[in-house]
Amino acid sequence: MIMYQPGLKGVIAVETELSNIDGAQGILTYRGTEIQTIIQDYSFEEIAYFLLHGKNPLDTEFQAFQENLKRYRIMPAYLQQIIDQLPEDQSMMDVLRTAISAVSTQESAMYDNAVQLIAITPTIIAYRFNQLRKKPVITPNDNLDHVANFMIK
């Protein structure tokens, strides 16, 4: 006999080593570390590296990761043209879906694609935000970290 379960209660949608949710205890962990520890002790870039690699970076690894984020943060002209063509009443999620699909068409390794999407997503949001408000586009500043670049938009 099949028992009715509302929603996805009791259904395993996917198994992953990346995260675990213990709803009964109210605990969320990523790669075995509680989310509170992660957000209190690490920067956005360090967390992104940790989630991608499963370990905290050495200084040289972190510097290389930051350089990749800087490199991929710049929005290519073709992507600006795509976003410029979208209707103004299109939701930000629709804009992101369209833009990310366009970025993902580039031939590259999955890891590079992941880093590129981490880097360029705030640039896409800021570009669209400024575009709709008829404000000038602010290009990413290499002297600022990932979060600071997004916040000045």
The mean predicted confidence, pLDDT, of the chain is: 88
Which CATH number belongs to the domain containing residue 78 in this structure?
1.10.580.10
pLDDT given at position 21: 86
Q: Which residues form the domain of 83?
A: 58-151
How many structural domains comprise the chain? 1
Asked if the structure places residue 43 within a domain, the reply is no
User: Above 80 in pLDDT, residue 153?
Assistant: no
User: Above 80 in pLDDT, residue 127?
Assistant: yes
pLDDT given at position 144: 87
Angstrom distance (rounded) from CA 113 to CA 145: 20
Asked if the structure places residue 14 within a domain, the reply is no
27-30 and 33-34: which strand pairing? antiparallel
Range 88-103 average pLDDT:
95
Asked if the structure places residue 140 within a domain, the reply is yes
Asked if the structure places residue 8 within a domain, the reply is no
The residue to which tokens 């590296």 are assigned: 49
Asked if the structure places residue 77 within a domain, the reply is yes
